[in-house]
Structure 1
Amino acid sequence: MDSAVAREQALDAAERLFYGRGIQAVGMDDIRGASGVSLKRLYQLFPAKEQLVVAYLERRDIRWRQRLADHVDGHEGDPGNPARRILAVFDWLGLWFCEPDFRGCAWINSYGELGATSESVGTQVRAHKRAFKDYLAGLVSEAGLPADLAEQVYLLAEGAMVTAAVERSPEPAVRAGRAARTLVEACGGPSAID
Protein backbone atom coordinates (compact mmCIF):
# COMPACT_ATOMS: atom_id res chain seq x y z
CA MET A 1 0.00 0.00 0.00
CA ASP A 2 1.28 3.44 -0.99
CA SER A 3 2.31 5.61 2.00
CA ALA A 4 0.03 8.49 0.98
CA VAL A 5 -2.96 6.16 0.67
CA ALA A 6 -2.15 4.48 3.98
CA ARG A 7 -1.82 7.87 5.67
CA GLU A 8 -5.23 9.01 4.38
CA GLN A 9 -6.85 5.73 5.42
CA ALA A 10 -5.34 6.03 8.89
CA LEU A 11 -6.48 9.66 9.18
CA ASP A 12 -9.99 8.77 7.98
CA ALA A 13 -10.23 6.08 10.65
CA ALA A 14 -8.70 8.32 13.30
CA GLU A 15 -11.17 11.09 12.55
CA ARG A 16 -14.18 8.77 12.80
CA LEU A 17 -12.96 7.10 15.97
CA PHE A 18 -11.38 10.03 17.82
CA TYR A 19 -14.31 12.33 17.10
CA GLY A 20 -16.94 9.66 17.72
CA ARG A 21 -15.53 7.93 20.80
CA GLY A 22 -12.84 10.22 22.19
CA ILE A 23 -9.08 10.13 21.81
CA GLN A 24 -8.25 8.30 25.01
CA ALA A 25 -10.86 5.60 24.33
CA VAL A 26 -9.23 4.72 20.98
CA GLY A 27 -5.98 2.82 20.71
CA MET A 28 -3.68 2.43 17.76
CA ASP A 29 -5.00 -1.12 17.32
CA ASP A 30 -8.50 0.36 16.88
CA ILE A 31 -7.11 2.63 14.17
CA ARG A 32 -5.43 -0.35 12.53
CA GLY A 33 -8.66 -2.32 12.50
CA ALA A 34 -10.78 0.52 11.15
CA SER A 35 -8.25 1.65 8.53
CA GLY A 36 -6.90 -1.63 7.22
CA VAL A 37 -3.39 -0.24 7.65
CA SER A 38 -1.03 -2.64 9.38
CA LEU A 39 0.15 -1.69 12.84
CA LYS A 40 3.75 -1.66 11.57
CA ARG A 41 2.85 0.79 8.76
CA LEU A 42 0.72 2.85 11.12
CA TYR A 43 3.69 3.33 13.48
CA GLN A 44 5.95 4.13 10.52
CA LEU A 45 3.56 6.91 9.54
CA PHE A 46 2.83 8.07 13.08
CA PRO A 47 5.51 6.91 15.55
CA ALA A 48 3.36 8.11 18.47
CA LYS A 49 -0.39 8.36 18.91
CA GLU A 50 0.04 12.05 19.73
CA GLN A 51 1.39 12.63 16.20
CA LEU A 52 -1.72 10.96 14.76
CA VAL A 53 -3.95 13.16 16.93
CA VAL A 54 -2.19 16.32 15.75
CA ALA A 55 -2.41 15.22 12.09
CA TYR A 56 -6.12 14.46 12.54
CA LEU A 57 -6.74 17.90 14.03
CA GLU A 58 -4.70 19.66 11.33
CA ARG A 59 -6.61 17.93 8.52
CA ARG A 60 -9.97 18.47 10.20
CA ASP A 61 -9.12 22.15 10.68
CA ILE A 62 -8.60 22.66 6.95
CA ARG A 63 -11.83 20.87 6.07
CA TRP A 64 -13.93 22.49 8.80
CA ARG A 65 -12.85 26.04 7.97
CA GLN A 66 -13.32 25.41 4.24
CA ARG A 67 -16.87 24.14 4.77
CA LEU A 68 -17.64 27.22 6.85
CA ALA A 69 -16.14 29.60 4.27
CA ASP A 70 -17.97 27.89 1.41
CA HIS A 71 -21.27 28.30 3.24
CA VAL A 72 -20.64 31.94 4.12
CA ASP A 73 -19.45 32.70 0.58
CA GLY A 74 -22.64 31.11 -0.75
CA HIS A 75 -24.72 33.51 1.34
CA GLU A 76 -23.40 36.72 -0.12
CA GLY A 77 -26.97 37.96 -0.60
CA ASP A 78 -26.95 41.69 -1.07
CA PRO A 79 -23.36 42.66 -1.97
CA GLY A 80 -23.98 46.03 -0.39
CA ASN A 81 -24.69 44.31 2.92
CA PRO A 82 -21.64 42.30 4.05
CA ALA A 83 -22.95 42.10 7.64
CA ARG A 84 -25.18 39.22 6.50
CA ARG A 85 -22.04 37.12 6.12
CA ILE A 86 -21.47 37.30 9.88
CA LEU A 87 -24.92 35.84 10.53
CA ALA A 88 -24.33 33.14 7.91
CA VAL A 89 -21.73 31.70 10.31
CA PHE A 90 -24.52 30.90 12.76
CA ASP A 91 -26.68 29.43 10.01
CA TRP A 92 -23.80 27.10 9.17
CA LEU A 93 -23.29 26.19 12.82
CA GLY A 94 -26.96 25.22 13.02
CA LEU A 95 -26.57 22.94 9.99
CA TRP A 96 -23.43 21.38 11.48
CA PHE A 97 -25.15 20.81 14.81
CA CYS A 98 -27.90 18.85 12.98
CA GLU A 99 -25.45 16.38 11.43
CA PRO A 100 -26.04 12.88 12.84
CA ASP A 101 -22.41 12.44 13.89
CA PHE A 102 -22.10 15.86 15.59
CA ARG A 103 -20.21 15.40 18.88
CA GLY A 104 -19.25 19.00 19.61
CA CYS A 105 -16.09 20.83 18.69
CA ALA A 106 -13.25 18.40 17.95
CA TRP A 107 -10.69 20.91 19.24
CA ILE A 108 -12.48 21.62 22.50
CA ASN A 109 -12.97 17.88 22.98
CA SER A 110 -9.29 17.20 22.25
CA TYR A 111 -8.14 19.96 24.55
CA GLY A 112 -10.37 18.61 27.29
CA GLU A 113 -8.80 15.19 26.94
CA LEU A 114 -5.16 16.06 26.26
CA GLY A 115 -4.58 19.81 26.54
CA ALA A 116 -3.05 19.59 30.00
CA THR A 117 -0.59 16.86 29.02
CA SER A 118 0.18 17.39 25.33
CA GLU A 119 1.74 20.66 24.26
CA SER A 120 1.47 19.73 20.58
CA VAL A 121 -2.27 19.08 20.88
CA GLY A 122 -2.69 22.33 22.84
CA THR A 123 -0.76 24.19 20.15
CA GLN A 124 -2.95 22.74 17.39
CA VAL A 125 -6.13 23.62 19.28
CA ARG A 126 -4.96 27.20 19.83
CA ALA A 127 -4.01 27.51 16.15
CA HIS A 128 -7.48 26.39 15.06
CA LYS A 129 -9.23 28.76 17.45
CA ARG A 130 -6.99 31.65 16.39
CA ALA A 131 -7.73 30.94 12.70
CA PHE A 132 -11.47 30.85 13.39
CA LYS A 133 -11.28 34.12 15.32
CA ASP A 134 -9.23 35.70 12.51
CA TYR A 135 -11.84 34.56 9.98
CA LEU A 136 -14.59 36.22 12.01
CA ALA A 137 -12.47 39.37 12.36
CA GLY A 138 -12.22 39.46 8.57
CA LEU A 139 -16.00 39.27 8.23
CA VAL A 140 -16.45 42.04 10.79
CA SER A 141 -13.87 44.20 9.00
CA GLU A 142 -15.51 43.62 5.60
CA ALA A 143 -18.80 44.77 7.12
CA GLY A 144 -17.14 47.98 8.34
CA LEU A 145 -18.04 47.21 11.94
CA PRO A 146 -15.90 47.85 15.04
CA ALA A 147 -13.03 45.38 15.39
CA ASP A 148 -13.94 44.40 18.96
CA LEU A 149 -17.21 42.93 17.64
CA ALA A 150 -15.18 39.99 16.31
CA GLU A 151 -14.32 38.84 19.83
CA GLN A 152 -17.97 38.97 20.86
CA VAL A 153 -19.12 37.04 17.78
CA TYR A 154 -16.34 34.51 18.38
CA LEU A 155 -17.45 33.94 21.98
CA LEU A 156 -21.06 33.52 20.86
CA ALA A 157 -20.03 30.92 18.27
CA GLU A 158 -17.79 29.05 20.71
CA GLY A 159 -20.51 29.05 23.35
CA ALA A 160 -23.01 27.73 20.81
CA MET A 161 -20.66 24.85 19.94
CA VAL A 162 -20.27 23.75 23.54
CA THR A 163 -23.94 24.19 24.37
CA ALA A 164 -25.09 22.32 21.24
CA ALA A 165 -22.92 19.35 22.18
CA VAL A 166 -24.32 19.28 25.71
CA GLU A 167 -27.95 19.85 24.69
CA ARG A 168 -27.68 17.74 21.52
CA SER A 169 -29.66 20.38 19.72
CA PRO A 170 -29.13 22.94 16.94
CA GLU A 171 -31.06 25.52 18.98
CA PRO A 172 -27.90 27.13 20.47
CA ALA A 173 -26.95 28.30 16.96
CA VAL A 174 -30.31 30.03 16.65
CA ARG A 175 -29.99 31.72 20.04
CA ALA A 176 -26.38 32.77 19.41
CA GLY A 177 -27.33 33.99 15.94
CA ARG A 178 -30.05 36.20 17.42
CA ALA A 179 -27.54 37.62 19.91
CA ALA A 180 -25.04 38.22 17.09
CA ARG A 181 -27.71 40.01 15.08
CA THR A 182 -28.45 42.27 18.06
CA LEU A 183 -24.74 43.07 18.41
CA VAL A 184 -24.31 43.75 14.70
CA GLU A 185 -27.33 46.02 14.65
CA ALA A 186 -26.11 47.86 17.75
CA CYS A 187 -22.71 48.43 16.13
CA GLY A 188 -23.86 49.30 12.66
CA GLY A 189 -27.43 50.40 13.07
CA PRO A 190 -30.58 48.63 11.85
CA SER A 191 -29.44 48.87 8.22
CA ALA A 192 -26.48 46.58 8.97
CA ILE A 193 -28.69 43.50 8.44
CA ASP A 194 -31.84 44.68 6.66
Structure 2
Amino acid sequence: MKWSNLTVVFIVSIFLLSSPANARQDDPRLDELFSALSETDNYNEGKVIERSIWTIWLTSGSDTIDFLMAQGMNYMNQGALAKSLTLFTSIIKIDPEYSEAWNKRATVLFLMGEFDASVEDIGRTLELEPRHFGALSGLGQIFDRQDINRGAISAFQKAVNINPHMPGVKERMKQLKKEQDDKKI
Protein backbone atom coordinates (compact mmCIF):
# COMPACT_ATOMS: atom_id res chain seq x y z
CA MET A 1 0.00 0.00 0.00
CA LYS A 2 1.32 3.47 -0.90
CA TRP A 3 1.07 6.20 1.70
CA SER A 4 0.29 9.73 0.54
CA ASN A 5 1.93 12.74 2.16
CA LEU A 6 -1.39 13.72 3.70
CA THR A 7 -1.93 10.22 5.09
CA VAL A 8 1.51 10.17 6.73
CA VAL A 9 1.00 13.62 8.28
CA PHE A 10 -2.43 12.54 9.51
CA ILE A 11 -1.15 9.28 11.03
CA VAL A 12 1.80 10.94 12.75
CA SER A 13 -0.35 13.79 14.07
CA ILE A 14 -3.00 11.48 15.48
CA PHE A 15 -0.43 9.23 17.11
CA LEU A 16 1.53 12.03 18.71
CA LEU A 17 -1.54 13.92 19.90
CA SER A 18 -3.11 10.85 21.46
CA SER A 19 -0.27 9.90 23.77
CA PRO A 20 -1.22 7.37 26.41
CA ALA A 21 0.12 7.63 29.95
CA ASN A 22 2.77 4.99 29.30
CA ALA A 23 4.34 5.73 25.94
CA ARG A 24 7.29 3.42 25.24
CA GLN A 25 8.09 0.21 23.35
CA ASP A 26 4.71 -1.28 24.27
CA ASP A 27 2.80 1.74 22.97
CA PRO A 28 0.00 0.54 20.67
CA ARG A 29 0.63 3.43 18.26
CA LEU A 30 3.95 1.86 17.23
CA ASP A 31 2.36 -0.97 15.21
CA GLU A 32 0.78 1.46 12.75
CA LEU A 33 3.92 3.60 12.60
CA PHE A 34 6.14 0.60 11.85
CA SER A 35 3.71 -0.49 9.17
CA ALA A 36 3.78 2.96 7.59
CA LEU A 37 7.59 3.10 7.89
CA SER A 38 8.09 -0.12 5.97
CA GLU A 39 5.47 0.67 3.34
CA THR A 40 6.40 4.20 2.32
CA ASP A 41 8.83 4.63 -0.55
CA ASN A 42 9.27 8.32 0.19
CA TYR A 43 12.48 9.00 2.13
CA ASN A 44 11.20 12.23 3.73
CA GLU A 45 7.97 10.57 4.84
CA GLY A 46 10.03 7.71 6.23
CA LYS A 47 12.13 10.11 8.27
CA VAL A 48 9.00 11.79 9.70
CA ILE A 49 7.65 8.40 10.73
CA GLU A 50 11.05 7.40 12.15
CA ARG A 51 11.13 10.55 14.30
CA SER A 52 7.64 9.73 15.57
CA ILE A 53 8.83 6.27 16.60
CA TRP A 54 11.84 7.75 18.41
CA THR A 55 9.56 10.24 20.18
CA ILE A 56 7.44 7.41 21.52
CA TRP A 57 10.47 5.32 22.50
CA LEU A 58 11.94 8.27 24.39
CA THR A 59 8.74 8.84 26.38
CA SER A 60 8.77 6.54 29.39
CA GLY A 61 5.53 7.60 31.03
CA SER A 62 7.44 8.88 34.07
CA ASP A 63 8.44 12.52 34.41
CA THR A 64 11.41 11.51 36.55
CA ILE A 65 12.71 8.96 34.06
CA ASP A 66 12.12 11.32 31.14
CA PHE A 67 14.13 14.01 32.95
CA LEU A 68 16.96 11.58 33.71
CA MET A 69 16.89 10.35 30.12
CA ALA A 70 17.14 13.88 28.71
CA GLN A 71 19.99 14.67 31.10
CA GLY A 72 21.79 11.44 30.18
CA MET A 73 21.46 12.21 26.49
CA ASN A 74 22.81 15.73 27.08
CA TYR A 75 25.82 14.31 28.91
CA MET A 76 26.35 11.76 26.15
CA ASN A 77 26.20 14.46 23.46
CA GLN A 78 28.72 16.55 25.43
CA GLY A 79 31.10 13.59 25.72
CA ALA A 80 30.55 13.20 29.47
CA LEU A 81 30.17 9.45 29.01
CA ALA A 82 30.70 8.39 32.63
CA LYS A 83 27.92 10.73 33.79
CA SER A 84 25.54 9.54 31.08
CA LEU A 85 26.37 5.90 31.87
CA THR A 86 25.50 6.50 35.52
CA LEU A 87 22.17 8.09 34.62
CA PHE A 88 21.15 5.37 32.14
CA THR A 89 22.10 2.70 34.68
CA SER A 90 19.93 4.47 37.26
CA ILE A 91 17.00 4.50 34.84
CA ILE A 92 17.43 0.78 34.21
CA LYS A 93 17.38 0.14 37.98
CA ILE A 94 14.19 2.18 38.30
CA ASP A 95 12.48 0.62 35.26
CA PRO A 96 14.24 -2.45 33.85
CA GLU A 97 11.45 -2.93 31.29
CA TYR A 98 12.14 0.38 29.52
CA SER A 99 13.95 -0.61 26.32
CA GLU A 100 15.24 2.83 25.40
CA ALA A 101 17.22 3.09 28.64
CA TRP A 102 19.00 -0.15 27.68
CA ASN A 103 19.58 1.17 24.17
CA LYS A 104 21.02 4.46 25.37
CA ARG A 105 23.32 2.69 27.81
CA ALA A 106 24.41 0.38 24.98
CA THR A 107 25.25 3.46 22.93
CA VAL A 108 27.37 4.94 25.72
CA LEU A 109 29.16 1.64 26.23
CA PHE A 110 29.86 1.51 22.49
CA LEU A 111 31.30 5.02 22.61
CA MET A 112 33.48 3.95 25.53
CA GLY A 113 34.77 0.98 23.52
CA GLU A 114 33.06 -1.51 25.85
CA PHE A 115 31.72 -3.63 23.00
CA ASP A 116 30.85 -6.79 24.94
CA ALA A 117 28.81 -4.85 27.50
CA SER A 118 27.17 -2.88 24.70
CA VAL A 119 26.16 -6.11 22.94
CA GLU A 120 24.60 -7.36 26.19
CA ASP A 121 22.53 -4.18 26.50
CA ILE A 122 21.55 -4.37 22.82
CA GLY A 123 20.35 -7.91 23.47
CA ARG A 124 18.14 -6.68 26.30
CA THR A 125 16.88 -3.80 24.14
CA LEU A 126 15.87 -6.26 21.42
CA GLU A 127 14.19 -8.58 23.93
CA LEU A 128 11.98 -5.67 24.96
CA GLU A 129 11.57 -4.15 21.46
CA PRO A 130 12.49 -6.56 18.65
CA ARG A 131 11.81 -3.82 16.06
CA HIS A 132 14.50 -1.52 17.46
CA PHE A 133 16.30 -0.64 14.23
CA GLY A 134 18.66 1.66 16.14
CA ALA A 135 19.86 -1.18 18.37
CA LEU A 136 20.25 -3.47 15.35
CA SER A 137 22.25 -0.81 13.55
CA GLY A 138 24.43 -0.40 16.65
CA LEU A 139 24.99 -4.15 16.77
CA GLY A 140 26.05 -4.03 13.13
CA GLN A 141 28.51 -1.25 13.93
CA ILE A 142 30.05 -3.29 16.73
CA PHE A 143 30.44 -6.35 14.50
CA ASP A 144 31.86 -4.10 11.78
CA ARG A 145 34.48 -2.69 14.18
CA GLN A 146 35.40 -6.22 15.21
CA ASP A 147 35.69 -7.37 11.57
CA ILE A 148 32.83 -9.81 11.99
CA ASN A 149 31.45 -9.07 8.54
CA ARG A 150 28.78 -11.76 8.45
CA GLY A 151 27.36 -10.56 11.79
CA ALA A 152 27.49 -6.91 10.71
CA ILE A 153 25.72 -7.67 7.44
CA SER A 154 23.04 -9.68 9.25
CA ALA A 155 22.39 -6.97 11.86
CA PHE A 156 22.34 -4.22 9.24
CA GLN A 157 19.96 -6.26 7.06
CA LYS A 158 17.56 -6.74 9.97
CA ALA A 159 17.67 -3.00 10.72
CA VAL A 160 16.96 -2.10 7.08
CA ASN A 161 14.14 -4.65 6.88
CA ILE A 162 12.43 -2.75 9.70
CA ASN A 163 13.44 0.73 8.59
CA PRO A 164 14.36 0.94 4.91
CA HIS A 165 15.13 4.66 5.25
CA MET A 166 18.68 4.30 6.58
CA PRO A 167 20.98 5.14 3.65
CA GLY A 168 24.19 5.03 5.70
CA VAL A 169 23.41 1.54 6.97
CA LYS A 170 22.47 0.38 3.48
CA GLU A 171 25.71 1.76 2.05
CA ARG A 172 27.90 0.14 4.69
CA MET A 173 26.08 -3.17 4.25
CA LYS A 174 26.69 -2.96 0.50
CA GLN A 175 30.41 -2.30 1.10
CA LEU A 176 30.68 -5.23 3.51
CA LYS A 177 28.95 -7.56 1.05
CA LYS A 178 31.37 -6.46 -1.67
CA GLU A 179 34.36 -7.04 0.64
CA GLN A 180 32.99 -10.46 1.50
CA ASP A 181 32.54 -11.32 -2.19
CA ASP A 182 36.04 -10.06 -2.99
CA LYS A 183 37.50 -12.39 -0.33
CA LYS A 184 35.79 -15.37 -1.98
CA ILE A 185 37.69 -14.79 -5.21
TM-score, length-normalised on structure 2? Answer: 0.34
Max radius of gyration: which structure? Answer: 1
TM-score, length-normalised on structure 1? Answer: 0.33
RCO comparison, higher one (Cα < 8 Å, 6+): 1
